[in-house]
Amino acid sequence: MSANSSPRAQRMAMLAASSATAQQATEPAASTEPSYICTSVTATTVESFLAEIQEAAASGVDIIELRLDFLTDFDPEQHLEKIIKACPLPYIVTYRPVWEGGKYEGPEPERLAVLKMAALMGAPYVDVEFKASPYFFADPHEVPLSTKVILSYHDFKQTPDAAVLNKLATAMRQAGADIVKLAAMANDIGDAARMLDLLRNKDGPMIALSMGERGQIVRLLAAKYGGHLTFAAMSPERASAPGQPDIGRLAGLFNYRKQSAATKVFGIIGNPVAQSKSPLIHNTAFQHIGFDGVYVPLLVDDLERFLAAFKDYDDFAGFSVTIPHKEAALRAAKDVDPVAAQIGAVNTLIRQADGSFKGYNTDWEAAISAIERGLAGVAGGAAAAAAAAAKNAGTPAAESPLKGRTVVVIGAGGAGRALAFGAAARGARVLIANRSRDRADALAAALAAQYGSAAAAAVSYEDLAGGRVVGDVLANSTSVGMAPNTEESPVPAAVAGQFKVVFDAVYNPLWTRLLLDAKAGGATPVDGLQMFVGQALEQFRLFTGGSEPPAELMERTVEESMGVKK
């Protein structure tokens, strides 16, 4: 080794020699390495820190991150060895300074000395900030090769563009990183695509993370794309970074350890999506039938921008689409199912062989069947309603209890259009109330063009709220009343009781303020769970290429998650 070579070059040469000697016998190829689940210990006193280590070890993770910077009573000489010996699992020693988002405010030489001390004590990993790497590697012989050095970079404001990210990754590798870690805030879900691109094109072990809800998919899909690890919290309220999932959901619901490059990705596109039960119902069903797919929440601000960002991700095979993107989904689809085209809204996108998407609408049959059962006084849960919807698909208007009834639809968006066209197809007269009157007028005109001038009309939202609109069925297609705004209702309580049947497309909570008011007023309430499960069953068939969905399991799973008792 040249005496003039830099400390970084010396470290790299040492690593290269070690790797050649080992002939990769102890280090699997990157493509076959597992992706680990790591959780962070962030207690503030040594005593509680030691207890939290044991809790972390029992939580089901593979690696524990020791965030020493959170400790307020930490004395390295007295406590470091004790903390390290308390770890029954592989661990990462992190001593993050405030200038990189951590808690440590002391001198840099002392901080870096602690990390080197941990390495000499046998730490499997130490996390060193990229900016500090020249000082940490000043003498490469101070850091044993048995310790993997994670060089990390964090941007808490934004995600750099692809060129900057790739340049950073290359520089970090050249600086002596055994593992490159890049974490950046996602201000749009398209930012997550750039982080996944890093993983797809990596040239060595890498941790790539998008912070924030818009970037959560990077954390959930790191195993599929070959990330060295992902971080998870021991419980939802203990997340150490924005968008961090909890261990139970990551390992169980999102099947993290069984993801592979072949795993197909599906998701719910909407804003908001945090409250959606779609990941729960679809992942449970996928795992039940052994389908190699994972279903994730996708917080999307602009549908066109999202699809453009992920246009090269052929394994993103299909999406459920919810508020406010159902009409945009219609425009995004190259091919559209005739029913969806007639309705003018799409709630399902399926990727075709050429990379384009075909749009479907699975809302309308599920919703209309639930309303029909309410009018007919038929008992039964969501699975029964969904079965009825499948059986009654294409039911002639003459056979429907909606024939000759007046249905008042609140909302003229995608779900409202599905309800309105479905009711009109069954022979009902449809009245549309929407806060934006021009959208109500447009929907009424579309219905009249299809079913005749007497089939539909727009009404004033103020007239509806004032009790001046008369009908048999009131159907809310808006998000008013959805958690967390559970005390809101689209109409006053007195108005809800004026109808025979009141349907609410909102299913979380199951008993919305609208349905409670309707029941108190003597109307028959029909909850949105019946529509939700019904449309999900048909989506499941589309996602899996025709597999029969486990209907009762899907219904029971959602009901149990909502505390519904039968």
CA 384, CA 489: separation in Å to the nearest integer? 27
Q: Which CATH number characterizes residue 418's domain?
A: 3.40.50.720
Q: Quick check: 346 and 293 in contact, CB under 8 A?
A: no
Name, in order, each residue with C-beta under 8 angstroms of 6's C-beta and a sequence gap of 6 or more: none
Sort 241 into a burial class: Cβ within 10 Å, 0-12 / 13-18 / 19+: middle
Q: Residue 101: inside a domain, yes or no?
A: yes
Looking at the fold, whether 25 and 151 belong to one and the same domain comes out as yes
**Confidence category of residue 242, pLDDT binned at 50, 70, 90:** confident
Whether the per-residue pLDDT at 3 is higher than 50: the answer is no
Name, in order, each residue with C-beta under 8 angstroms of 399's C-beta and a sequence gap of 6 or more: none
∠ CA 459-461-467, rounded to 5°: 90
Note if 224 is an active site residue.
Answer: no
What kind and span of H or E run contains 534?
helix 528-543
Query: pLDDT digits over 377-388, tens only?
Result: 854 555 555 555
Q: Quick check: 279 and 296 in contact, CB under 8 A?
A: yes
Note if 154 is an active site residue.
Answer: yes
CA 55, CA 191: separation in Å to the nearest integer? 34
Whether the per-residue pLDDT at 11 is higher than 70: the answer is no
Mean pLDDT score across all residues of the chain: 92
Looking at the fold, whether 184 and 45 belong to one and the same domain comes out as yes
Rounded alpha-carbon distances, angstroms, from residue 218 to 62, 156, 182, 222, 254: 19, 16, 12, 6, 12
Q: Quick check: 370 and 503 in contact, CB under 8 A?
A: yes
Q: Which pLDDT score is estimated for 31? A: 44
Looking at the fold, whether 247 and 389 belong to one and the same domain comes out as no
Among 233, 261, 289, the domain-final residue is 261
Q: Residue 323: inside a domain, yes or no?
A: no
| Range of lowest pLDDT (23-37, 125-139, 151-165, 336-350) | 23-37
CA 177, CA 128: separation in Å to the nearest integer? 9
Which residue type does 544 have?
T
- Expressed as residue numbers, the domain containing 141 is 7-261
Whether the per-residue pLDDT at 393 is higher than 90: the answer is no
Which among 326, 337, 517, 527 is annotated as catalytic? 326
Among 211, 237, 261, the domain-final residue is 261
How much of the chain exceeds pLDDT 70, in percent?
91
Whether the per-residue pLDDT at 565 is higher than 90: the answer is no
Whether the per-residue pLDDT at 125 is higher than 80: the answer is yes
Looking at the fold, whether 104 and 238 belong to one and the same domain comes out as yes
CA 426, CA 405: separation in Å to the nearest integer? 10
Looking at the fold, whether 71 and 209 belong to one and the same domain comes out as yes
Q: Residue 392: inside a domain, yes or no?
A: yes
Q: Which pLDDT score is estimated for 18? A: 59
pTM reported for the whole predicted model: 0.87
Question: What domain count does the chain have?
Answer: 2
Which among 116, 154, 228, 282 is annotated as catalytic? 154
Which among 178, 188, 197, 363 is annotated as catalytic? 363
∠ CA 160-165-171, rounded to 5°: 135
Q: Is it true that the peptide bond before 7 is cis, omega within 30 degrees of 0?
A: no
Which residue type does 297 have?
P
Q: Residue 36: inside a domain, yes or no?
A: yes
Q: Residue 334: inside a domain, yes or no?
A: no
Distance of alpha carbon 167 from the chain centroid: 29
Whether the per-residue pLDDT at 301 is higher than 70: the answer is yes
Note if 139 is an active site residue.
Answer: no
Q: Residue 359: inside a domain, yes or no?
A: no
CA 74, CA 115: separation in Å to the nearest integer? 14
Q: Provide mean pLDDT across the span 240-261.
A: 93
Which among 116, 181, 264, 325 is annotated as catalytic? 181
Among 261, 281, 309, the domain-final residue is 261
Q: Residue 326: inside a domain, yes or no?
A: no
Q: Which CATH number characterizes residue 116's domain?
A: 3.20.20.70
Q: Residue 550: inside a domain, yes or no?
A: no
Name, in order, each residue with C-beta under 8 angstroms of 395's C-beta and a sequence gap of 6 or more: 426
Note if 82 is an active site residue.
Answer: no
Count of residues making up the chain? 566
